[in-house]
């Protein structure tokens, strides 16, 4: 369904119903439910990108519910929704940036998908300071929430090290401030890699 003045309310209502299903029993059947949500990724992304704050807010609420209810089963949805959420962090609307950050933090906390770190690493190449700051803050959440044994995988540790290097020399003082916290958390998790 294309977004227009006539369809905004219907799209919002459909997303709210999907959120209610997520909070209900649909997440009890994660494999089937994830496939259904993945098949609807395009309209969900369109709603996330909407200039209509009520519609985009409903879509953000859906993503937060999906991450919270599905937990680790959320992972297959990240390639479909993650880039859009990180893209929202480039907008000038502070409410939209805050909502995108909230959803990414919920994904990091509840789903802990390994693919989030490479997406954050890529986002740190952005010209947008707000996107780099959101990426750094979500990376910090990953370090504080992820199972350390999952982060010890060499590829994950290299992603984290790249994120720390990138944020440490960022032009933004706010990003560099988060970088210091990232490095402190990294030292606690991986003292053997710091000393190597």
Work out the average pLDDT over 120-136. 97
Q: Is the pLDDT of residue 7 over 80?
A: no
Find the farthest-apart pair of alpha carbons in the chain and give their distance in angstroms, rounded.
Answer: 61
What's the rounded Cα separation, in Å, for the pair 33 and 77? 11
> The tokens of 59 are what?
């879509």
Confidence band, pLDDT 50/70/90 cuts, at residue 9: confident
What's the rounded Cα separation, in Å, for the pair 177 and 132? 12
CA dihedral 38, 9, 100, 91 (to 10 degrees): 120
Work out the average pLDDT over 170-194. 92
Q: Tell me how far CA of residue 136 lies from CA of 4, 29, 76, 154, in angstroms.
A: 35, 33, 22, 20
Work out the average pLDDT over 6-25. 86
> The tokens of 72 are what?
């680790």
The lowest-confidence range among 3-12, 109-118, 161-170 is: 3-12
Contact of 80 with 38, CB cutoff 8 Å: yes
What's the pLDDT at 155? 87
What's the pLDDT at 2? 58
More confident residue, 6 or 99: 99
What's the pLDDT at 196? 54
Work out the average pLDDT over 153-181. 94
The lowest-confidence range among 14-18, 85-89, 108-112, 128-132 is: 14-18
What's the pLDDT at 182? 96
> The tokens of 136 are what?
């750094």
């Amino acid at each position: 369904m294309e977004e227009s003045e006539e369809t905004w309310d219907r799209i919002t209502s459909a997303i709210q119903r999907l959120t209610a299903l997520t909070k209900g029993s649909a997440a009890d059947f994660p494999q089937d439910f994830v496939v259904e949500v993945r098949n609807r990724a395009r309209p969900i992304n369109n709603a996330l990108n909407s200039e209509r704050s009520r519609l985009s807010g409903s879509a953000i609420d859906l993503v937060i519910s999906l991450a919270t209810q599905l937990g680790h089963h959320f992972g297959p949805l990240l390639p479909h929704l993650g880039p859009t959420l990180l893209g929202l962090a480039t907008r000038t609307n502070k409410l939209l940036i805050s909502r995108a950050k909230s959803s990414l933090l919920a994904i990091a906390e509840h789903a802990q998908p390994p693919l989030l770190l490479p997406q954050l690493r890529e986002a740190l190449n952005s010209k947008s300071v707000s996107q780099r700051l959101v990426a750094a803050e979500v990376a910090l959440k990953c370090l504080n929430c992820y199972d350390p044994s999952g982060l010890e995988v060499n590829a994950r540790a290299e992603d984290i090290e790249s994120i720390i290097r990138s944020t440490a020399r960022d032009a933004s003082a706010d990003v560099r401030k988060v970088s210091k916290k990232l490095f402190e958390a990294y030292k606690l998790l991986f003292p053997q890699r710091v000393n190597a």
